[in-house]
Amino acid sequence: MEKIPNRGPALIVYYHGAIPIDYYYFLAHVIIQKGRTCHSVADHFLFKIPGFKLLLEVFSVIHGPQEECVRALRNGHLLGISPGGVREAMFSDETYRLFWGKRKGFAQVAIDCQVPIIPMFTQNLREGFRSLGTLSK
């Protein structure tokens, strides 16, 4: 929390556990401690769930093309992104393997906007909820 600026943009990059409850608590903590919201990037499939799109918009969730991420940061917002996303949530295991693949757009967004990158990791997050298992190589 001490790295989160009181104002201005920053990119928070976090590990996506099976249920990212740590990130939800982080979002609440930012509101309480810093008095600001953090925009979040979510998988596009969430926006297709009937009735869910409005809820996502209320909580400043975007579906994450680079242009939209750049716009959020240039407007001075905090932006949280988990490059591993749903694949990481479902297939990582107790070794906390990252599933970023070729997802490096978040780094280009940070370069384009010249914002700080704040990594976030919660120890033992995977042990709280078990998932399906690992992907074979």
Report, as residue numbers or ranges, the catalytic residues: 16
Say how many CA atoms lie within 13 Å of 97 toward its Cβ: 12
CA 40 to chain centre: 6
DSSP secondary structure code for residue 49 in this structure:
S
Beta bridge partners of 120: 14
- Residues 6+ away with beta carbon under 8 Å from 136: none
